[in-house]
């Protein structure tokens, strides 16, 4: 199977990573509606991508009502048939009801999958049936996949978990995009990165105005329970997995999405 290769960026300046190996650009943010791009930069990125003759996908996060209003404004400037990765059912509903000319893609936050890296430490002690279960996703649940296709969702984004995955139960009409090398573990609206560079706020926990500290700092979290270094970027935890699954050709994965930097 010939696989499309996409570059994932969250800022215009990261178009510097664009090389001839890519056929598509993903642009946007998956994890925070405070990082939804401004219309001006969105148009500039789309223009540059179009000039290079590449395909374009707009990526959106889970959102508040304020974030949804931002997305509605941006959806209105997207060309017809533009792919939009949705990580929020409210954003999907807006596309379905008001922007039906756009192409919804199910984001990886919408995929139910065992994500924690601790799992790799005890896989050998589990029975094969349990390991097989931990490799599956909700995309293989018939009622769920039927709901997706009935709502014109024919692509889903997936992480590369340490236990591997079994996607043999995913209907063939649902194509898959594999994200490498950063797999997301968990995310929250509560951003512990906020005010991290303000000494007076040390030990103070709360909800603060966003200074986009996540664009400046990355934290590496080591724990003896984990066999992988955890990476905190803003409100989200990741780990790195550069190993491509051996059985990738057995599934519906026709696109690989490359993240040159930790997302955010």
> What pairs with residue 240 in β-bridges?
182
What average pLDDT does the segment 160-186 reach? Answer: 94
pLDDT at 192: 80
- Evaluate if residue 11 carries a pLDDT over 90: yes
- Evaluate if residue 226 carries a pLDDT over 70: yes
- Evaluate if residue 245 carries a pLDDT over 90: no
**pLDDT per residue as tens digits for the range 140-150:** 999 999 999 99
Q: What is the dihedral of CA 29, 30, 34, 37, to 10 degrees?
A: 20
- Evaluate if residue 247 carries a pLDDT over 90: no
What average pLDDT does the segment 197-211 reach? Answer: 78
Confidence of residue 231 (pLDDT cuts 50, 70, 90): very high
**pLDDT per residue as tens digits for the range 39-98:** 999 999 999 999 999 999 999 999 999 999 999 999 999 999 999 999 999 999 999 999
The CATH architecture to which 4-183+241-258 belongs is Alpha-Beta Barrel (3.20)
- Evaluate if residue 21 carries a pLDDT over 80: yes
Confidence of residue 1 (pLDDT cuts 50, 70, 90): low
**pLDDT per residue as tens digits for the range 94-115:** 999 999 999 999 999 999 998 8
Say which DSSP state 206 is in: S
What average pLDDT does the segment 208-222 reach? Answer: 88
Query: Among the listed ranges 109-118, 183-192, 194-203, 254-263, which one has the minimum average pLDDT value?
Result: 194-203
- Evaluate if residue 3 carries a pLDDT over 90: yes
User: What b-and-e string marks burial along 96-123, b requiring 16 or more CB atoms within 10 Å of the CB?
Assistant: beebeebbbbbbbbbbebebbbebbeee
Domain boundaries, the chain: 4-183+241-258
Instruction: State how far the alpha carbon of 24 is from the alpha carbons of 48, 137, 229, in Å.
Output: 12, 26, 30
pLDDT at 106: 98
Q: Which ranges constitute the DSSP H helices of 124-193?
A: 128-134, 142-150
Q: Which ranges constitute the DSSP H helices of the chain?
A: 39-51, 65-75, 89-98, 128-134, 142-150
């Amino acid at each position: 199977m010939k696989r499309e290769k996409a570059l994932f960026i969250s800022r215009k300046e990261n178009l510097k990573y664009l090389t001839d190996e890519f056929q598509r650009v993903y642009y946007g943010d998956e994890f925070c509606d405070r990082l939804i791009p401004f219309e001006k930069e969105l148009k500039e990125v789309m223009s540059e991508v179009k000039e290079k003759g590449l395909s374009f996908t707009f990526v959106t996060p889970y959102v508040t009502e304020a974030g949804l209003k931002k997305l509605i404004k941006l959806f209105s400037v997207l060309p017809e048939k533009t792919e939009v990765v949705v990580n929020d059912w409210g954003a999907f509903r807006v596309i379905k009801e008001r922007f039906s000319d756009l192409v919804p893609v199910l984001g990886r936050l919408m995929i139910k999958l065992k994500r924690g890296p601790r799992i790799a430490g005890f896989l050998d002690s589990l029975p094969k049936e349990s390991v097989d279960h931990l490799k599956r996703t909700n995309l293989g649940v018939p009622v769920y996949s039927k709901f997706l296709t009935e709502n014109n969702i024919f692509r889903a984004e997936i992480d590369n978990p340490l236990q591997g995955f079994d996607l043999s139960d995913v209907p063939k009409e649902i194509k898959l995009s594999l994200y490498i090398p950063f797999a997301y573990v968990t995310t929250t609206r509560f951003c512990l990165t906020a005010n991290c560079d303000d000494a007076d706020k040390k030990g103070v926990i709360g909800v603060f105005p966003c200074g986009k500290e996540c664009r400046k700092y990355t934290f590496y979290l080591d724990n003896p329970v984990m066999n992988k270094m955890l990476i905190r970027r803003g409100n989200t935890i990741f780990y790195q997995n550069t190993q491509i699954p051996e059985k990738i050709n057995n599934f519906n994965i026709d696109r690989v999405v490359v993240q040159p930097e930790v997302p955010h």
